[in-house]
Amino acid sequence: DTPELRAAYSEGQKRLVENDMKVGQNRDLYEVFVALSVSPEFASLSDEDRVAVEQAIRDFTLSGVALEPEARDRFSEISVELSGLSNEFGSAVLDATDAWSELVTDEADLAGISDADKAMFADAAKAKGQAGWLVTLQQPSVNAVLTFAENRELRARMYRAFATRASDQGPNAGEFDNSARIARILELRHEGAKLLGFTDPVAWSLETKMAPNGAEVIAFLRDLARRAKPAAERDLAELKTFAAEQLGIADFEPWDAGFVSNRLRQDRYAVDAQVVKAYFPVERVMEGWQTLMQRLFGIKLVERDDVSLYHEDARFFDVVDESGTVFAGLYLDLHARTGKR
């Protein structure tokens, strides 16, 4: 991740969106699909091809093909700006994630954390030229601390830093704040929805989804919440009771949830997440995943070592069908690191 790479990516993304808009707003191409949809030949197409044609017409419409020229141009501008804002949003979250870390110099402060995770912290510190254990906001580090660290103050600091990334709160308040971007994204989505004839961005979004309207989505979520809430309240009460009686935590806080849940599982069911994790090393998981892919879809992943890779952790696989034909390639990059989205 470098400023030059970000600039190139941003420019490339802008050009892709502009090209998508040119294709999606191509009236001549749109009319070809419409003509096919009303022709006698349409009925003879396979179900898959008919759906593909119908969805292509829908996508043309959602690209603003039917709008007047001025509105069509404005919709393209909105699409390009939304893409740029989305990219900026992700970059701000990435920068905020990379900006926070804490160097632990006393191993006792990492009590409860596995040797494997402590080795990961030590490697992170070494990479920065530091001695000790460096905890960061990379997901593996967050999971290890919030689930296993007995040091409650460390859990609290990490939780606050992670939960407030790219906002006007927390240890880096305002430095990578996405608030203005969020407001602008909402504003543009409303404008885009109105241009396409939708009442709001929800209706626009649902045009490509199974739910018929926003009211039904809200009704579904509220019904789900109503049904789930009693069980959730019982679980939370159980966690609070266990925390107070067994761990001496009388004032249960969000940064205690993962830690207390893990201890409760150990106490009640003799399930230790760190022990379970040892049974799922990367290569074993990869073997299971590839077996599943072959069983479900009849495809194989064949690793190659003659492909140029952007990082030593990355791997490349040919995706091969049952006839032995290579029809795709897959880059696999499983490890978290600074600068990685």
In a domain, 169, yes or no: no
**Per-residue pLDDT, 275:** 84
Per 3-state DSSP, the chain is made up of helix, strand and coil in percentages (nearest 5) of 65, 10, 30
**Per-residue pLDDT, 205:** 97
**Per-residue pLDDT, 335:** 83
Partnered with residue 320 across adjacent β-strands are 300, 326
How many CA atoms, within 13 angstroms, populate the side-chain half-sphere of residue 5?
Answer: 7
**Do both 195 and 249 map to the same domain?**
no
Interhelix angle 3-24/69-99, rounded to 10 degrees, is: 150
- Alpha helix stretches (DSSP H) within 149-252: 152-163, 179-195, 201-206, 214-246
d(CA 259, CA 21): 48
Is the Cβ–Cβ distance between 231 and 248 less than 8 Å? no
Task: Please give the full DSSP string across 207-233, using - where no structure is assigned.
Answer: TTSS---HHHHHHHHHHHHHHHHHHHH
In a domain, 184, yes or no: yes
Q: What phi, psi does 99 have (nearest 5°)?
A: -75, -25
**Do both 223 and 247 map to the same domain?**
yes
**Per-residue pLDDT, 271:** 87
Distance from the first to the final alpha carbon of the chain: 9
d(CA 265, CA 16): 49
**Do both 78 and 9 map to the same domain?**
yes
Q: How confident is the model at residue 248 (pLDDT cuts 50, 70, 90)?
A: very high
**Do both 89 and 9 map to the same domain?**
yes
Q: What residue ranges in the chain does DSSP mark as E strands? A: 101-104, 133-136, 300-304, 315-320, 326-332
In a domain, 340, yes or no: no
The whole-number average pLDDT for the span 209-232 is 97
Q: How confident is the model at residue 200 (pLDDT cuts 50, 70, 90)?
A: very high
pLDDT digit string (tens) for 34-49?
999 999 999 999 999 9
The residue whose two tokens read 């003659």 is 306
Residue 23 has pLDDT above 90, yes or no: yes
**Do both 107 and 157 map to the same domain?**
yes
Joined together, the tokens standing for residue 75 give 């919709």
Residue 337 has pLDDT above 80, yes or no: no
Residue 341 has pLDDT above 80, yes or no: no
Structural domain span for residue 155 = 101-163
**Per-residue pLDDT, 257:** 98
Nearest by Cα to 98 from 178, 179, 161, 8: 161
Taking the alpha carbons of 70, 76, 79, 80 in that order, is the dihedral positive or negative?
negative
**Do both 220 and 148 map to the same domain?**
no
Beta-strand pair 101-104/133-136:
antiparallel
**Do both 150 and 105 map to the same domain?**
yes
In a domain, 337, yes or no: no
Residue 340 has pLDDT above 80, yes or no: no
Residue 291 to residues 73, 255, 264, 284, 286, Cα–Cα distance (Å): 49, 38, 34, 11, 8
Q: Residue type at 29?
A: L
Residue 118 has pLDDT above 90, yes or no: yes
Nearest by Cα to 336 from 128, 137, 104: 137
In a domain, 289, yes or no: yes
**Do both 148 and 52 map to the same domain?**
no
Low-confidence winner among 130-139, 157-166, 310-319 (lowest mean pLDDT): 310-319
**Do both 260 and 224 map to the same domain?**
yes
The residue whose two tokens read 């600074």 is 338
The whole-number average pLDDT for the span 103-115 is 97
In a domain, 339, yes or no: no
In a domain, 170, yes or no: no
**Per-residue pLDDT, 300:** 94
pLDDT digit string (tens) for 51-98?
999 999 999 999 999 999 999 999 999 999 999 999 999 999 999 999
Is the Cβ–Cβ distance between 17 and 80 less than 8 Å? yes
**Do both 184 and 319 map to the same domain?**
no
Joined together, the tokens standing for residue 16 give 């892709």
**Do both 240 and 129 map to the same domain?**
no
**Do both 73 and 188 map to the same domain?**
yes
**298 conformational bin, left if phi > 0, alpha if psi -120 to 50, beta if neither:** left
What's the structural domain count of the chain? 4
Residue 208 to residues 203, 205, 263, Cα–Cα distance (Å): 10, 6, 43
The whole-number average pLDDT for the span 100-126 is 96
End-of-domain residue from the set 154, 187, 206? 206
Is the Cβ–Cβ distance between 141 and 121 less than 8 Å? yes
In a domain, 341, yes or no: no
pLDDT digit string (tens) for 136-163?
999 999 999 999 999 999 999 999 999 9
**Per-residue pLDDT, 2:** 83
**Per-residue pLDDT, 299:** 94
Residue 205 to residues 62, 198, 244, Cα–Cα distance (Å): 10, 10, 45
Residue 230 has pLDDT above 80, yes or no: yes
d(CA 208, CA 66): 18
